[in-house]
Amino acid sequence: MRRLIALLAIAASLGCGSDVLGPVQTVDGNWNGIQNGYSMSLSLTQNGTAVTGSVDLLGIGVSAVGTASGTFVYPNLDLTLSFAGVNDVSYKGTMSGSEAKIFGHLDGSGFSNLAIDVRKK
């Protein structure tokens, strides 16, 4: 009986997953974050240190789709986000060493050091 209970406990714990991905060394893929009243999604491709992709930014009075370009030299991400009709926005971030997360800030075109972190999906 004890063995059965132990096996059931092990099986139950293996079935429980976590939404947090382990650390990564590249920015390839899809990243999403919601913070300070804004939602940002990045779809990025990395080739060496060069990064390109697309960005969706939503918030109060903001709904924009644009492009992303820049560099990633672990752990630092430096992107320029370009949207039609507005000045470019800078997104600078630092990759977490413990999970697939980038701690970042938006600057420019009305943003001033606005924290918005993204996680890999």
State the pairing for strand pair 89-95/76-83.
antiparallel
Domains of the chain plus CATH, in order, are: 25-120 (2.40.128.120)
Question: Is it the case that residue 8 has pLDDT exceeding 60?
Answer: no
For residue 87, which amino acid is it? N
Q: What is the pLDDT of residues 71-119, one digit of tens each?
A: 999 999 999 999 999 999 999 999 999 999 999 999 999 999 999 999 9
Per-residue CA distances from 102 to 7, 15, 85, 88, 105 (Å)? 38, 27, 27, 20, 10
pLDDT at 4: 35
For residue 18, which amino acid is it? S
Q: What is the pLDDT of residues 39-73, one digit of tens each?
A: 999 999 999 999 999 999 999 888 999 999 999 99
Q: What is the pTM of this model?
A: 0.82
The overall longest dimension of the chain from CA atoms, in Å, is: 69
